[in-house]
Amino acid sequence: MNKKALWAIRIVAVLVIIGSVIYIINNQREYKEAEEEYTDLNDYVDENPQPENTDESKEFSVDFDALKRINPDLVGWIYACNGAISYPLVQSRDNYDYLHTTFNGRRNGSGCVFSDMRDNDLSNYNSILFGHCMRNGTMFARLMSYKTPSYITSMPYFYIYTPAERRKYEIFSVYKKLPADVHVAYTDDNVNVVELYHDIRALSDYDIEVSDDIISGSGAIATLITCDDRNDSYRVVVNGKRIE
C-alpha cells in the first residue's frame, strides 16, 4: 500500500472519530436540555406522598390551566413507575409532530409523550400513548422494567390525569412485538370492549394475575407503546385496564 493510500485511510479514520465524538456530544446536550425542561415542568404538579410513601398513597394535582398556556396541545399527564415516568401528554394533528419536539416546542430527540391523533382529548375507549425509550432512562424507558414479571407485581398501577378526572389503571398485559403485531383499536364503532381486553391479554408475554372485570367508556384501556431498548425494530407495549 502506497503512502497516499495510507494517509487517506488515516484521514478517513480521524474524520469518523471526530464525527462520532460530535454525535455523542450533541446527544448528551439534547438529553440534558430535555431533562431540564421536563424537570421544570414538574413545578406545575403538586405531589404529596402520604405516610406510607407508596405508589398507592399519593395525592397528585396538575395545574392544567398554566400548562395549557405553555402548550395548548396538552390533554393530560401520565404518572407511572412511582414517578420515574411523570410527563405531560399532548396530542397533535398527526403522530409525528412530537417525535422530535418537546412540550415547550424545542427540537429535541427526546420528543414528548403523546396521545394518538385519533383519540380526541383521551375520549376513546383505548387511550394509546407513545413515548421514546431514551438511552439516559427518560421518557418511556422505564417501561422496560415491565419486561420483568416481578416488577409488574411491585408496580401494578399507573395513572392518567386529565383536566376532568384521575384515571387509575391496573396492568394486565405486557408484550414485545413488531409494530405490525401491536394490537391497537382507533375508533369506537362496533367494538366490544370485553373482547378487546381478552384479545390484548392473550398477547401478554406473562400471565398477570388480575380480575377480568372491565369497564367501558373513555379510557377503559390504556396502551403505552415504546421501542425496545435492545432492538428498536420491536415495540414494548404495556396495557392497563381502568379500575377507577
Return the minimum-mean-pLDDT range out of 4-13, 48-57, 95-104, 233-242. 48-57
DSSP 24: H
Closest to 146 (Cα-Cα) out of 79, 203, 81: 81
Extract the C-alpha cell encoding 161: 390525569
C-alpha span between 218 and 119 (Å, rounded): 10
CA–CA separation, 104 vs 112, rounded Å?
A: 9
pLDDT of 52 above 50: no
**SS3 state at 126:** strand
pLDDT digits (tens, 9 = 90+) for 84-108: 999 999 999 999 999 999 999 999 9
Residue 110 burial (10 A CB sphere; 0-12, 13-18, 19+): buried
DSSP 4: H
pTM of the model as a whole: 0.85
* pLDDT score for 58: 58
Q: Tell me, what's the pLDDT at 194?
A: 84
- Whether 203 and 182 have beta carbons less than 8 Å apart is answered as no
Q: What pLDDT score does 55 carry?
A: 52
**Mean per-residue pLDDT, 48-63:** 61
Residues 6+ apart with CB under 8 A from 240: 157, 158, 169, 170, 171, 172, 221, 222, 224
Q: Which CATH number fits domain 40-242: 2.40.260.10, 3.90.1150.60, 1.10.150.130, 3.30.930.10?
A: 2.40.260.10
Q: CA angle at residue 112 from 108 to 114, to 5 degrees? A: 145
59 Cβ partners below 8 Å, 6+ apart? 46, 47, 48, 50
